[in-house]
Structure 1
């Protein structure tokens, strides 16, 4: 897991170079024939990438983006009206039967199907109208790392070309170096603080909410540590009652309109005696973790997750687990 996570910056560099032609062609098609809306379909870490896509597409393109529930088609066989929609399936393996069934149904109903997939000769790639390879190479650790970050960078790449946003293009070009720097950040205080923990919240909002979801999953699957992700707004609608001196929090934030509210939540929880680690611009508290400045707020989740992966790998080892082979899990999960 550590080695594969460390490769993510090179994955992004390779992806931006080798995918440019296919992404340019896709973006030109989408500008010429704009979809009515966007639907994403994914499971696990890939679904957390889909959360990121929702915020990227809705804020930078103004297109409603919804997450499909795979069982609606694969179990209930309820056809969806997707004519003139863009359907984006995200997967490392491209093999799960429910994902394949939904992609086929979307295509049959008139959607343009795009596959963000790591295995380029997978069944999903064969179905799709457009394939955007993640180019992460073999990923042997059960816990996805470089393929997840590759999915986020592919979403950024599509967004930049589709919106023809030169500033975002420049920000993405700076990502590989920034990600390499992010992986070197020392988050050992988080590792030390959570060594004996049993529960925690991971908070994020907007662009960073998918990163919070991904971090909570990694705590569970590699550390056997119960973690739940909430937005910094949603946590105040009930879940915050759990937070006290025995209930720690990890907060991820980026420098946009959500930052002030996120730091307010951190201060409130610290006021109750809770340990709150933050990866957030402008926080000077002793439990603020070192971060790399993002070239654009939309890039911040990639940098935070890259730093987090190194830390959660170390935490898994510190808690006596093997992060490469979590208990009871398989690399490819095929759901129906």
Structure 2
């Protein structure tokens, strides 16, 4: 199981609860996922839009990759202010709108979901609080089944959101290999490797760094950058491993830190090449990778499918981030200026 810090935080406990939360989701939502998959195949939508903010929007970025690569459908995130601030009527007849939210109570997300439904979209809510307005007003509810999450930093609900997204696309596309890997994932994540203290000390010493990913792991890189800001006051920026080779390399100096969330699919070769180029520029790269070998980084669990690798990466990264926060003298559960539920319009 995930190792806890000497003074265990809620964040550390909730990271340790990830496998159990995913197991509940398998048990409690398998039938609903299968029924929704059949409904979506019959419906044959031409577009998918997502509605989310913060960590949930990173889950939506992961869903976008799955929908576009596995189903061949365009998928985009719609800014909630389109409805909540500007009151725009949407034309989404024959489309699908997926809202991803932990609390299910943010007014702007609710307004956007209502606008999508009024515009003709089938609305799907991936939500932890099943009694929330977003959950109750959606056409289809896919609960995260994560239980209570106390720490401001979302961890188990975030991984559960990615898990629900993978299960949704697996059921929709009738991808047997993905569906089998989804069902087996809770057990695969139950024995996470410990985080090397060398990595904790190295990240804790940084004031600024890059995170990079590609394909399914770009969402993990984006989430990692947010969590380092949130829990540890480290300025982190996330880039695709393709985009980082443009303007961002202008900041690379000797020992510039980069966290690499290594893809396991067709994007891996390109990520390897980018990591080598960054290293050649003087950067020090630490990798989250199932095939770490003797490289500097964190070894992650084998998820049984390349598309599920980001879930193991985030499980390990969250354990790292919790320890980094404590090493820097911060309480990871209560970051300054932040609240568990953010009410935006």
What interval of TM-score do these two structures reach, taking the shorter chain for normalisation? over 0.9
Structure 1: unaligned runs, 5 residues or longer: none
Deviations 1:38-65 (A, max 9, x none): 0001000000000000001111111111
Report the count of equivalent residues.
335
Match of 1:274 among 263, 277, 283: 283
Match of 2:331 among 284, 298, 322: 322
Give distance in 2, aligned partners of 1:286 and 1:38: 39
Q: Report the alpha carbon displacement of residue 285 of structure 1 after superposing the two structures with TM.
A: 4.7
* SS of match in other structure, 2:260: strand
Give distance in 2, aligned partners of 1:324 and 1:18: 28
Is 1:94–2:94 an aligned residue pair? no
Could you say which residue in structure 1 is the equivalent of 2:47?
Answer: 37
Give distance in 2, aligned partners of 1:260 and 1:187: 26
Match of 1:169 among 163, 166, 179: 179
Q: TM-score, normalised by structure 2?
A: 0.94
Give distance in 1, aligned partners of 2:255 and 2:280: 13
Match of 2:131 among 109, 121, 127: 121
Could you say which residue in structure 2 is the equivalent of 1:260?
Answer: 269
Could you say which residue in structure 2 is the equivalent of 1:110?
Answer: 120
8 Å Cα contact 1:221/1:326 also seen in 2: yes
Is 1:195–2:204 an aligned residue pair? yes
* SS of match in other structure, 1:186: coil
Q: Report the alpha carbon displacement of residue 288 of structure 1 after superposing the two structures with TM.
A: 3.4
Q: Report the alpha carbon displacement of residue 207 of structure 1 after superposing the two structures with TM.
A: 0.3
Is 1:21–2:31 an aligned residue pair? yes
| Aligned alpha-carbon RMSD (Å) | 1.2
* SS of match in other structure, 1:180: coil
Deviations 1:157-183 (A, max 9, x none): 11111111111111112211222223x
Q: Superposed, which structure 2 residues align to 1:1-336 within 5 Å?
A: 1-182=11-192, 184-336=193-345
Q: TM-score, normalised by structure 1?
A: 0.97
Give distance in 2, aligned partners of 1:264 and 1:12: 34
